[in-house]
Chains A and B, each alone.
Chain A
Amino acid sequence: MNLPSIKRVRPLIAATYAAEWQKHYIQSGYVNIDPVVRAGLGGVLPVDWSKIRSDDPLVLKFIGEAQEFKIGRVGLSIPIRGKYGEFALFSVTAEMSPSEWQKRLNLLSRDLMLLAYQFHDWAMRVEGIATDISLDLLTAREKDCLRWRSQGKTDWEISQMIGISESTVKFHLENSRAKLGATNTIHAVAKAIVHGLISMP
């Protein structure tokens, strides 16, 4: 919503929602009312829609209309803040019970974060805002740590597998994140995969 060097009169939205809902959302100025956007702007963690509570009549009206357009009974929004000062909000929704939803999130939340960061990076590159990174940027140890992290290993597990201390693993992952211009380790994994710095399993 604040991409550098790009002046937009409204946020760029790519969505599978009904076109009528997207038009209604923009025309009604719902970006200023949407509680998910508010929560996303105010934090860095994914926002589970089921955790949002509001008594604000405008918000309740917004939620009611969203349901009429079948946006989804449940949803998750992932806030992304990039190194250029940009902000994005990546959301997925579903029509399922809260218990099914929690199971799905437990299984796929990291996949979703990876997808969100990757899509954001892709958009930044396509718009010419971000530049490619140097392919020989990472050390062998940093690649090792990222590769094992992509396999879901904890810092401690990685330390045991490659024979270094847990604090050194944290050090390598933090270095990787900084070198790749990633906002967190998942983002760094995504960038490393896309640029061929670590191989896919």
Chain B
Amino acid sequence: MVTRMTDSIFEVIESLSQATRFEESNDVLRNAIIEMGFSHVANAR
């Protein structure tokens, strides 16, 4: 089954693409995952 992506995720992607610093992108990520009902987000590379 292929689930549909929600409309709001495209707005998040747009915001993320406009970020120029890690602090900005982290803010976008944090706000997005809280909106989605999650508590934390982490990205390790």
Q: Tell me the smallest distance from the CB of B4 to a CB of chain A, in Å.
A: 3
Contacts of A3 in B (CB 8 A): 45
**Count the B residues whose beta carbon is within 8 Å of the partner chain — how many?**
33
In the complex the two chains form, is B44's CB within 8 Å of A13's CB?
A: yes
Prevailing SS type, chain B contact patch: mixed
Q: What is the CA–CA distance of A118 and B3 in the complex, to the nearest angstrom?
A: 18
Q: What is the CA–CA distance of A153 and B26 in the complex, to the nearest angstrom?
A: 30
Q: Is A111's beta carbon under 8 Å from chain B?
A: yes
Q: Is A64's beta carbon under 8 Å from chain B?
A: no
Interchain CB contact (< 8 A) of A92 among B5, B10, B17, B41: B41
Chain A residues in contact with chain B, CB under 8 A? Answer: 1, 3, 11-17, 31, 37, 71-72, 86-96, 104, 106-112, 114-116, 118-120, 122-123, 126, 149-154, 189-190, 193-194, 200-201
Contacts beyond the supplied A14-B29, A94-B38: 7 A-B pairs with Cβ under 8 Å: A89-B45, A94-B37, A106-B3, A110-B3, A114-B13, A119-B29, A149-B2
